[in-house]
């Protein structure tokens, strides 16, 4: 479990980006961070990843203070999938294999290669395994990024806008990969995302941020038109169909 308590942060003195943020990510739970641009979602993720230090508050992984963890210890708790990875001269297989770094000292072993090979097959990337990532599409690179995060076998996987800059087909592919991994291995997820319908499709718990503060923590049943309007200042209509909840944006 990740416990986030009373986190505050500022890039500029006397101007807080986050103020007294608290919530938990329980084992096997998918928590979705929601809120308009500038609400503090990416900043909060950077604090959990130890890219920055909070002004105040604490972050614990299974009662272990993140401030006392080294990079290797943290990597076994958390893996990170960014918005979109840049293409490099590394092949698809080499890029995914980087996710196994916390488990080998100098060189990957037979097990590491087998795990990567099996995951590439599962993700329909096996035919691209020897291609450099600068030679494949943005959607394919995002699938590679998700595979690298999953192969790390951490307790929690963090996704920062995993479907941004992708076409509709690639977005759906990535969402399905995330849902399948969750159902198969009961991982904990923290996902920052803009698309509310995608959020509803994958989330258990929803943390709405507004102006750097937690506006509401709730489950899917508690999300209604009034909440969305309060956070985003837009009119919506929510419909239920075949057990699913869908948001329609009104003019």
Tens digit of pLDDT at every position of the chain (251 positions): 899 999 999 998 778 999 999 999 999 899 999 999 999 999 999 999 999 999 999 999 988 999 898 888 888 889 999 887 788 999 999 999 999 988 887 789 999 999 999 999 988 999 999 999 999 998 899 999 999 999 998 999 999 998 887 888 888 888 888 888 887 877 899 999 999 999 999 999 999 999 999 999 999 999 999 999 999 999 999 998 887 889 998 87
For residue 112, the SS3 value is helix
Radius of gyration over alpha carbons of the chain, in Å?
A: 19
Q: Is-contact 132 88, C-beta < 8 A?
A: yes
Confidence at residue 148, expressed as pLDDT on a 0 to 100 scale: 94
- State how far the Cα of 15 lies from the Cα of 19, in Å rounded to an integer: 10
Ramachandran sector of residue 88 (left: φ over 0; alpha: ψ -120 to 50; beta: rest)? beta
1 vs 148: CA distance, rounded Å? 22
pTM to 2 decimal places: 0.91
Q: φ and ψ at 16, to 5 degrees? A: -75, 135
Domains of the chain, first to last: 2-249 (3.40.50.300)
CA distance 159 to 85: 12
Q: What is the pLDDT of residue 107?
A: 87
> How high is the pLDDT of residue 139?
87
pLDDT reported for residue 1 = 84
């Amino acid at each position: 479990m990740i416990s986030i308590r009373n986190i505050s942060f500022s890039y500029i003195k006397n101007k807080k980006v986050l103020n007294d943020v608290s919530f938990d990510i329980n084992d096997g739970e998918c928590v979705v961070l929601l809120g308009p641009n500038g609400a503090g979602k990416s900043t909060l993720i950077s604090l959990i990843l130890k890219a920055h230090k909070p002004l105040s508050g604490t972050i614990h992984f299974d009662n272990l203070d993140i401030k006392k963890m080294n990079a290797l210890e943290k990597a076994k708790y958390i893996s990170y999938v960014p918005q979109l990875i840049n293409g490099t001269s590394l092949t698809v297989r080499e890029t995914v294999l980087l996710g196994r770094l916390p488990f080998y000292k100098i060189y990957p072993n037979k097990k590491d290669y087998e795990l990567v090979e099996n995951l590439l097959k599962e993700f329909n990337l096996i035919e691209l395994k020897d291609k450099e990532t600068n030679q494949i599409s943005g959607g394919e690179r995002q699938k590679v990024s998700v595979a690298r995060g999953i192969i790390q076998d951490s307790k929690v996987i963090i996704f920062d806008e995993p479907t941004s800059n992708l076409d509709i087909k690639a977005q759906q592919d990535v969402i399905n990969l995330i849902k399948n991994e969750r159902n198969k291995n009961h991982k904990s997820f923290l996902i920052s995302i803009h698309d509310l319908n995608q959020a509803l499709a994958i989330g258990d718990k929803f943390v709405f941020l507004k102006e750097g503060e937690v506006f509401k923590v709730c489950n899917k049943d508690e999300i209604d038109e009034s909440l969305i309007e309060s956070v985003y200042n837009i009119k919506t209509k929510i419909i239920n169909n075949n057990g699913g909840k869908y948001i329609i944006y009104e003019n």
